[in-house]
Amino acid sequence: MMFPKYPKYKPSGTEWLGEIPEHWEVIRVKSLEGNKASVVQTGPFGAQLHAHDYVDEGVPLILIRNVGDMRIDDTDIPMISQEDAERLSMYRLKAGDIVFSRVGSIGRIALCSDREHGWLISGQMLRLRITNPRLYHKFAVYAFGCSSILTFVELQSVGSTRESVNTDILRNMPLPIPPEDEQRAISAFLDQETAQIDELIKKKERQIELLQEKRTALISHAVTKGLNPNVKMKPSEIEWLGDIPEHWEVKSIKHLSAIQRGKFSHRPRNDPRFYGGAYPFIQTGDISAAGKFIRTCHQTLNDEGLSISKVFPKGTLVMSIAANIGDIAILGFDACFPDSIVGFLPSRDVDLDFYYYALFALRDEMINASTINTQLNINIERIGSVKTVLPPLPEQRAIAAFLDQETARIDALIEKIRKSIDLLREYRTALITAAVTGKIDVRLAAAENAAQAGEEVA
456 falls within a domain: no
117 has pLDDT over 90: no
Least confident of 25-34, 125-134, 275-284, 371-380: 371-380
Instruction: Over range 397-417, report the average pLDDT.
Output: 97
Same domain, 171 and 256: no
Q: Does a structural domain hold residue 8?
A: no
In a domain, 420, yes or no: no
Where does a domain end: 120, 143, 177? Answer: 177
Looking at per-residue pLDDT, the higher value among 153 and 445 belongs to 445
Confidence of residue 408 (pLDDT cuts 50, 70, 90): very high
Last residue of a domain, one of 349, 364, 390: 390
Where residue 158 falls among pLDDT bands split at 50, 70, 90? low
Q: Does residue 320 form part of some domain?
A: yes
The pLDDT of residue 116: 83
- Give yes or no: residues 172 and 255 share one domain: no
Report the C-alpha gap between 286 and 298 in whole angstroms: 8
Q: Is 153 inside any structural domain?
A: yes
Question: Where are the alpha helices (H) located in 226-322, listed in sequence order?
Answer: 284-289, 303-306
CATH number of the structural domain spanning residue 266? 3.90.220.20
Average pLDDT over residues 328-346: 94
Structurally, the chain folds into a number of domains equal to 2
pLDDT score of 159 = 53
Q: Strands 376-377, 233-235: parallel, antiparallel or unpaired by DSSP?
A: unpaired
Nearest Cα neighbor of 354 from 399, 388, 408, 316 is: 399
CB neighbours (10 Å) of residue 112? 24
| 253 shares a domain with 172 | no
Tell me the pLDDT tens digit for each residue of 221-278: 999 999 999 999 999 988 888 999 999 999 999 999 999 999 987 666 778 889 999 9
Q: What band does 160 get if pLDDT is binned at 50, 70 and 90? A: very low
Among residues 127, 145, 177, the one where a domain terminates is: 177
Q: How far apart are CA 158 and CA 151, in angstroms?
A: 14
Q: Is residue 150 part of a domain?
A: yes
270 and 385 inside one domain: yes
Whether residue 261 sits in one domain with residue 168: no
**Between the ranges 58-62, 101-105, 226-230, where is the mean pLDDT highest?**
226-230
Q: Is the domain of 156 the same as that of 49? A: yes
Q: 58 with 145, same domain?
A: yes
The pTM (predicted TM-score) of the whole model is 0.81
Residues 54 and 161 in one domain: yes
Residues 256 and 380 in one domain: yes
| Same-domain status, 29 and 171 | yes
Of the chain, the percentage scoring pLDDT greater than 70 comes to: 88
Q: What is the pLDDT of residue 42?
A: 66
**C-beta separation of 321 from 341 below 8 A:** yes
pLDDT digits (tens, 9 = 90+) for 163-185: 567 777 778 888 899 999 999 99
- 161 domain-assigned: yes
Kindly report the average pLDDT of the chain as a whole number. 86
Q: Are 46 and 64 in contact, with CB atoms under 8 Å apart?
A: no
> Does 171 reside within a domain?
yes
Look up the domain containing 149 and give its range. Answer: 25-177
